[in-house]
Amino acid sequence: MKLARIGILTGGGDCPGLNAVIRSVAKPAMAHFHAKVFGIQDGYEGMVEGRYRELSPIDVLGIINQGGTILGTSNKGDPFHFPMGERGNLRIVDASDQVIENYRNMKLDALIAIGGDGTQIIAHKLYQMGLNVIGVPKTIDNDLDATDITFGHDSARAVATEAIDRLQTTASAHHRVMIMETMGRYAGWIALGAGLAGGADIILIPEIPFSWDRVFEAVLKRSKGAKFSIICVAEGAKEEGGDMSVRQMDKKRTDPVRLGGVGELIAKRVEDETGLETRVTVLGHVQRGGSPTAFDRILATRFGAVALQSASRGEFGVMTSLRENNVITVPLQDAVGRQRLVPPDSQLVFAARAVGTCLGD
């Protein structure tokens, strides 16, 4: 298929590796296909509002190691759930027809949509409406099905692991319980991976509801020996029979729930019930920032190259995927059918239990 005009957008939350994908699509598109490459600004929001610019070879020079995205992004730009108006007069409308119109006005041969589950769900809907769309999976949460891992996750996990390493020294010095709250939404991949790598004593994830008594028992036992404890908790963790901690509801987003606050909740309960001095660190957006790891740079580059290859073959309605260390494409409908959560019987969980980590159950 002749590729003359290609669009790229980055949707949802930012993460390390986005620029590596942009680079690996744009460079060969310009060099080998002599195509014009257009960067849509601020994800689908820019696609609705017609905000884009043509990229030059200079734009993608030396960006493989840069975090964030040179195109900007937004997690409030779902064309099928698009916010219009001011706060006091906010309306949610279907602006998908505007996306179709702008796609045609740009005369695009293909649109590369880089993002997580929300971005890929939108990409699938737009493909069903007739657009030539290819998805590239990104999310620090690693909760996108149909791929073994998403780029961005390794970088976030590395940041969280380093944070645990640093917390251990101050926890040991002051004989405290240190709680670190990670991102991850409804999946516990970051907390589990970082907690295992950092040697956390207690790891709490959404997939394994915890018992308060088990948590209290674990920190009291540690206080009699090592005299400090590290608790790594995912923002979506919850007690048995309880609900996740919701910080805010934002109706501009397709998923209006903003999680947060579970770290503070656990800290208060632990200190009240055990009398042990407890402190909380909420990593928040630190996990999204900074340079990507070597793994994420390579994976993002492979994803972008395969996405462009698929476009050149006229293969649309697919998403790039890492399966058994090979990058392939899978139908978008398979990628968005369900979330990828931590199986309670997974080898990561088994390994954590094997080294004595308390999972709260």
167: closest CA among 178, 158, 157?
178
| Residues 264, 302 within the same domain | no
Whether pLDDT at 86 is above 80? no
- The reported pLDDT for the residue numbered 259 is 79
Residue 331 DSSP SS3: strand
Q: Would residue 345 count as lying in a domain?
A: no
Report, as an integer, the average pLDDT of 238-254: 79
Helix (H, G, I), strand (E, B) or coil at 176: coil
- Tell whether the model's pLDDT for residue 258 goes beyond 80: no
What was the pLDDT predicted at 88?
Answer: 72
Report the pLDDT averaged over residues 153-168.
97
129 with 19, same domain? yes
Lowest mean pLDDT among 2-11, 236-245, 284-293: 236-245
Q: Is 271 within the bounds of a domain?
A: yes
- Residue 252: per-residue pLDDT: 67
Question: Which domain, by its residues, includes 268?
Answer: 156-288
* Whether residue 75 sits in one domain with residue 35: yes
Q: Would 190 be classed as within a structural domain?
A: yes
pLDDT(278) > 70? yes
What's the rounded Cα separation, in Å, for the pair 164 and 242? 27
Together in a domain, 147 and 13? yes
Residue 335 clears pLDDT 90, i.e. is over it: no
Judgement on whether residues 280 and 304 belong to the same structural domain of the protein? no
Q: What is the pTM of this model?
A: 0.93
Closest CA to 311 of 44, 120, 35, 78: 35
The pLDDT, as a whole number, for residue 207 is 97
Instruction: Name the catalytic one among 14, 42, 141, 296.
Output: 141
Per-residue pLDDT tens for 29-53? 999 999 999 999 999 999 999 999 9
Q: What is the average per-residue pLDDT within 220-245?
A: 92
**Given this model, what pLDDT does residue 75 score?**
84
246 phi/psi in degrees, rounded to 5: -105, 125
Mean pLDDT of the chain: 94
As a whole number of angstroms, the distance between CA 202 and CA 215 comes to 8
The secondary structure of residue 290, as a DSSP letter, is S
Q: Determine the pLDDT at residue 25.
A: 98
Give yes or no: residues 15 and 144 share one domain. Answer: yes
Q: Which DSSP symbol is given to 292?
A: P
Same domain, 55 and 161: no
pLDDT in tens, 57-74: 999 999 999 999 999 999
Give the CA radius of gyration of the chain: 22
* Region label for 360, one of left (φ > 0), alpha (ψ between -120 and 50) or beta (otherwise): left
CATH code of 167's domain: 3.40.50.460
Q: Looking at the structure, do residues 313 and 212 belong to the same domain, yes or no? A: no
More reliable by pLDDT, 241 or 20? 20
Which domain CATH number covers 131? 3.40.50.450
113: closest CA among 336, 293, 274, 273? 336
Does residue 197 have a pLDDT over 80? Answer: yes
pLDDT band at residue 262 using 50, 70 and 90 as cut-offs: very high
* pLDDT value for 254: 66
Domain assignment present for residue 221? The answer is yes
What does the pLDDT average to over 227-241? 95
CA distance 214 to 195: 17
Residue 99 lies in a domain: yes
For residue 1, pLDDT beyond 90: no
Tell whether 119 and 218 lie within a shared domain: no
Is the residue at 72 inside a domain? yes
Domain match, 187 and 324 both: no
Residue 141 falls in the annotated catalytic set? yes
What pLDDT score does 251 carry?
67
User: Is the distance from CB of 249 to CB of 187 less than 8 angstroms?
Assistant: no
In a domain, residue 12? The reply is: yes
pLDDT of residue 358: 97
Q: What is the pLDDT of residue 246?
A: 83
Question: Do 37 and 114 lie in a common domain?
Answer: yes
**Displacement of CA 67 from its chain's centroid (Å):** 13
Q: How many domains does the chain have?
A: 2
Same domain, 107 and 182: no
State the pLDDT at residue 242.
86
Residue 102 domain-assigned (yes or no): yes
Give the mean pLDDT of 340-346.
Answer: 95
141 has pLDDT over 70: yes
